Amino acid sequence: MSTSTNASSKSSTSSSPAKKQCTRSIVGPTPAPSSSMLIDDMPPMGIYETLYKFKDVFGEHMGTKNTHPWSQGFPLTTPLEKFGGPELPSSVDVTWNDRFYPKAWGHPELRTAVAGYYNDNYDCEIDSENVMIFAGGRPGIYTVLNFLKEQVEVRIGNVEWPAYLDILKQTNTNYKVVPFTKENNFHPPNGDYYDRTGLNAATHILPVISNPSNPTGHTRAGEELKELMEMAEQNKNGILLDEAYEWFHEGSVSGMEYVKDLENSNVFITGACTKGLQCPGIRIGWVVASKKNIETLSNYSSFGMGGVSHPSQLYAVKLLEPERVKKAKRAVQDHYGWQRERYGAAFKNLGITVYTGDGGFYHWLELPEGMTAKELNERLFARGAAILCAFDCDMARPHDKSEYVTPYERFFRFSFGPLLPETFEGDVKLFSEVYNQYKKDAGVA
């Protein structure tokens, strides 16, 4: 079932250190400037690359006036008024106590708030010791993958969030790609992630799944999610379930609802204030796992991270106040469900095939034959807009991106995360103009 493997092992390094150069010689050729001691294979994450290309063409940064951030993965950071969304806190008190070093595993108040949040919402019974706080979702994911044992093989969907590929490469993680095709509707069965064909008995499997998915919006919920978590708790299995978009699905969705024995598992659930709580700039995320695994992560924090900003953690405590959470969650589901529906209908009207699931704040779309997402994007750049080409979400591509043709050339991700209700007509008009002109120029009927 798996299409490609990363052969690198945890113990190998991807480039050798630069040799020292002698710069003292006064005869002979001018010495070359010393090369960087840092690795060369460090391109920015795909979404950032799109932003840099956009700036080169449009001359302004994405986000400035008259730009359209359809490539961007951030939510609205203002209250979702149309659907009764609550205010966002405007300040936190910082006392002498908060100027001390933070605790490696997180502020006790925030760990308690996060544990309480899962217990209230997903009928589970976790303790604050099952929670570790990070400076956003990414650092938590990076840390878990960085400290996997060598016998762990990660399984990752062929179409996933671009940052995973960078993280897998930079942590030298051993991974295999699970096929995502039109035939399986970009939503392979749970069993595909845990297929042991060809594996030796020593190998353990850890799928990394964004649920709801970025970029496809496909979501494992109800019985399907229950089955996934049952598989994840079996011997030699685990899971890193990235629930950044947990609220962007009717009813909200977390694997925690189905975990039976967290303490004896390798279940890692990650969450953050970034999307549903509408605060990407506050930089708070967390990992929920067994106490033993949390202790290992927090030992890393003691020498490699130093904890997380107290003011940010205190702000997150305010965001997670239970009555506020109820209102905010309802508003997020209503606002983004409505946006998903009407943008989806607009794309269908244009003759674009919509493969989006029922979660997240992205549409997963396919252009007609004869067109490519890359060219569409270049045309959009000139009009102050951008989408994310599926190339960047292709987990089977080489990291250096050279000489590789993705099977998803005609696919792209459209984000309605940052879009205000009132820009809908203007956004659809602009997209339609660029798309229809490109279709005409490409001679597509």
By CB under 6 A, tell whether 258 contacts ligand PLP: no
Shortest gap between Cβ of 106 and ligand PLP (angstroms)?
A: 15
CA–CA dist 44, 46 (Å, integer):
6
CA–CA dist 357, 221 (Å, integer):
11
By CB under 6 A, tell whether 274 contacts ligand PLP: yes
Q: Which x/- pattern, by CB under 6 A, does the window 120-159 give for ligand PLP?
A: ----------------xxx---------------------
Closest C-alpha to 196, from 161, 162, 153, 228:
153
| 174 or 211: CB nearest ligand PLP | 211
* Tokens encoding 163: 């940052």
Q: Which x/- pattern, by CB under 6 A, does the window 195-224 give for ligand PLP?
A: ---------------x---x----------
By CB under 6 A, tell whether 73 contacts ligand PLP: yes
By CB under 6 A, tell whether 272 contacts ligand PLP: yes
Q: Which of the residues 29 through 68 are near ligand PLP (CB under 6 A)?
A: none
For Cα atoms 159, 161, 165, give the angle at the middle one, nearest 5 degrees: 85
> Looking at beta carbons, which residue is closest to ligand PLP?
137
| 118 or 435: CB nearest ligand PLP | 118
By CB under 6 A, tell whether 290 contacts ligand PLP: no
* Tokens encoding 143: 């840390």
* DSSP element (H, E) containing 223: helix 222-232
By CB under 6 A, tell whether 394 contacts ligand PLP: no
Q: Is 160 exposed, middle or buried (0-12, 13-18, 19+ CB in 10 A)?
A: buried
Figure out which of the listed residues 153, 166, 233, 242 binds ligand PLP, where binding follows CB under 6 A: 242
Q: What is the DSSP string of 47-109?
A: HHHHHHHHHHHHSS-TTSTT-B-TT------S--GGGTPPPPP------GGGGSPPPTT--HH
| 138 or 220: CB nearest ligand PLP | 138
CA–CA dist 101, 351 (Å, integer):
56
Residues in the site for ligand PLP, rule: CB under 6 A? Answer: 73, 136-138, 161, 210, 214, 242, 244, 272, 274, 280, 285
